[in-house]
Structure 1
Amino acid sequence: MRRYLLLLILPVLVMACGKQEIKEPVEYTGPLREVENMEMFYTENNNIKVKMQAELVYEFQNGDREFPKGIYMEFYDEFEKLESTLRANHAYYFKEQDQWRGRGKVEVKNVAKNEQLNTEELFWKPDDQRIFTEQFVTIRQQGDVIYGQGLTAKQDLSDYVITHPEGELEVNE
């Protein structure tokens, strides 16, 4: 009886000791850090230039950052007076290009001129202090609304060019 039992167990043991498959390690490409309820200030000569708030931030190994729940930024002049604001439903910072992209409902306001820009995608170059897009834009001024496709502007909307403008303007004679 022992011989038969051994003969039954031996093939099972031989099969269990077969070659094991070795899998290659999978490289992790997700975020290295995750920050919740972030508030950050960029300063120059002890003056606040930019205030940034985000509910959630992912930071990646290459230095890129993603803001999946949106971003809110305030831009200040050399006297720390609020010039403009930017809000986007989703944002991404590309470290290699030193460029930001806002998507979803993107809104830029010039506080002094009471103007507002709305679009679905907007890029910002901090070094140049310029914003630009190829998407459809709407600019609301006091009493006027300008529409168009594509825009380049200063980050505070004090000077802008709409590539293909449309709309009606009120002219005082």
Structure 2
Amino acid sequence: MKRYLLLLLPFIAFACGKQEIKEPLEYKGPLREVENMEMFYTENDRVKVKMLADLVYEFQNGDREFPKGIYLEFFDEFGKLESTLTANNAYYFKDQDQWRGREKVEVKNIAKNEQLNTEELFWKPADQRIFTEKFVTIRQQGDVIYGQGLTAKQDLSDYVITDPEGELEVNE
């Protein structure tokens, strides 16, 4: 019997040893998940922006991810629809108050009948500006302009293409 006890003693001593305490893992995923969201941004009791998204993840730092895309409508001071923006994927950076749209980004100016297409676009709501360093295509009435990089008003009423290409009709 003593022989068996001596053989078990190392296993018992090992089992009673210090156990390593592990630090808990910090969760970095979304705190909230919203489906079929419809949100309105207003100024002075007037709707300025309408937002639709199928899925939204909100994180602890205030950032938001829109993995199934986003649709925005921008209105003028009279409530008239000025422009729209769609993207297959979007992200809001709270600390910068800046949005990023990716994958088939499209901006339409309703009044001017113009359309911007690119693969990535940033929007600063405070400045009401959009910008990108990626390749852009702008379709106007009868004209198509290509270029690398763009800065513009969010309604596409005024824009500058950094490195433009394309042909334009000029009436003399």
- TM-score tier after normalising by the smaller chain length: over 0.9
Whole-angstrom CA distance in 2 between matches of 1:22 and 1:78: 60
Give the corresponding residue for 1:107. Answer: 106
Give the corresponding residue for 2:11. Answer: 12
User: How do residues 9-158 of structure 1 correspond to structure 2 at under 5 angstroms?
Assistant: 9-158=8-157
Whole-angstrom CA distance in 1 between matches of 2:122 and 2:67: 16
Identity %: 84
User: Alpha-carbon deviations, 1:25-80, whole Å to 9, x = none?
Assistant: 22222211111111100111221110001111111111111111111100001111
Whole-angstrom CA distance in 2 between matches of 1:48 and 1:162: 30
Whole-angstrom CA distance in 2 between matches of 1:56 and 1:13: 54
Structure 1 unmatched runs, 5+: none
Task: Report the Cα offset of residue 8 of structure 1.
Answer: 5.0
Letter in 2 for 1:93: Y
Whole-angstrom CA distance in 1 between matches of 2:136 and 2:107: 11
Normalising by structure 1, what TM-score?
A: 0.92
Whole-angstrom CA distance in 2 between matches of 1:150 and 1:107: 15
Task: Report the Cα offset of residue 133 of structure 1.
Answer: 0.8
Task: Report the Cα offset of residue 104 of structure 1.
Answer: 1.1
When the two chains are superposed, the root-mean-square deviation of aligned CA atoms in Å is 1.4
Letter in 1 for 2:46: N
Whole-angstrom CA distance in 1 between matches of 2:64 and 2:107: 21
User: Alpha-carbon deviations, 1:146-169, whole Å to 9, x = none?
Assistant: 000111111011111111110011
Structure 2 unmatched runs, 5+: none
